[in-house]
Amino acid sequence: MKEYNITVSSGQSNIFCGEGAFASRAPLIPRERVFIVTDSNVSALYRALIDSTFGGAPAYVLPAGEGSKNRTQLFKILSAMFDAGATRSTTLVALGGGVVGDIAGLAASLYMRGVPVVQIPTTLLAQVDSSVGGKTAIDFRGIKNIVGAFCQPREVIVDPLFLKTLPAREVRCGLGEIIKYGALNGDILRKLSANMKNLTSQDFLSDITFDCIAHKAAVVCADERDLGGSRKTLNLGHTTGHAFELYYGRKSHGEYVLIGMYYELFIACKLGVCSPEYAAALVKLIKSVIRVPSYADASTAARGAKHDKKNSDTANISLILPQSPGVCRELTLGADEYCGYIRECSRAVAAKEWL
């Protein structure tokens, strides 16, 4: 088991990652002061483990899926905490994937103006990315993560035991974020490139997970609240990915991150931000995980990017574009220009005229 500590102005977050992390750390959370938030899938799979670890602590079980990340479910969690007699010394345990971690973290930040939260991520995406760093949110008015708060978890317990029950699609979802980290970190990129045929093996995933956590944790320590700019780099692929996810909604978040990266790599090449050779290396990784689609109405879907939180206004789109191994560049395009490039990329995909 490896450890990493995030120390920021709002406090310290201790991350425990590796085989046995759950068995060694979860029982140390005082049972008499625990409230659990999980979802219906995790509850069905791990009910016995939850009961044996937390001794029948009160819990709220969300319906599984992104559709639960809304204000109705948020206030149901808060009501359940109140009914259970939760106090400011209660620890909220978020046991689940990204949806659970996001909404439970937000509930923890709101209840009695803040209670401790422990994140125990059970999906690959949550383990490598969303459980770390303290961003919490719900979706609102059809926009992802637009209502939220920063709430650093007291602990993050990352154990590969939960990955053994993940369906293939959830593994692909996590690989979307892992490949994003490859574009942000040269060492991770080299490790991914050297293991192209081995990306889904448990040993590889357990190893690369800590590398991604370490990269994100370092960024969070430097820019906890997205004020200095370095944390914006973690949104690589997300501007276009979120817009497509909002408009089409048929794939997982991580799959849309990969698709968003592909379309944004096209823009980066068109504008001379990155070389065709570097783009080809990243596209090779993307295509090893997912088939990149073309969309007849891609430019219409792309207009959803106007609501991205990185933008300073709705007339311009802020993009994080890969430049070279381990280096990204922020670039702002007019909304019409951006949508034009997305339309051009979609046509190139359909005609097989690009990577």
Extents of the domains making up the chain: 2-165, 168-351
d(CA 208, CA 191): 8
pLDDT tens-digit series, residues 118-177: 999 999 999 999 999 999 999 999 888 999 999 999 999 999 999 999 999 999 999 999
Strands 11-17, 155-158: pairing is parallel
Mean pLDDT of the chain: 95
The CATH code of the domain at 2-165 is 3.40.50.1970
pLDDT confidence bin for 23, thresholds 50/70/90:
very high
Q: What pLDDT, on a 0 to 100 scale, did the predictor assign at position 282?
A: 97
* CATH fourth-level superfamily of 168-351: Dehydroquinate synthase-like - alpha domain (1.20.1090.10)
pLDDT tens-digit series, residues 93-106: 999 999 999 999 99
Whether the CB-CB separation of 159 and 129 falls below 8 Å is answered with: no
pLDDT at 307 over 90: no
Which pTM does this prediction carry? 0.95
pLDDT tens-digit series, residues 195-235: 999 999 989 999 999 999 999 999 999 999 988 778 999 99
pLDDT at 17 over 80: yes
CB atoms within 10 A of CB 51: 12
What is the token pair recorded at 200? 């889904």
> 199 phi and psi, to 5 degrees?
-65, -25
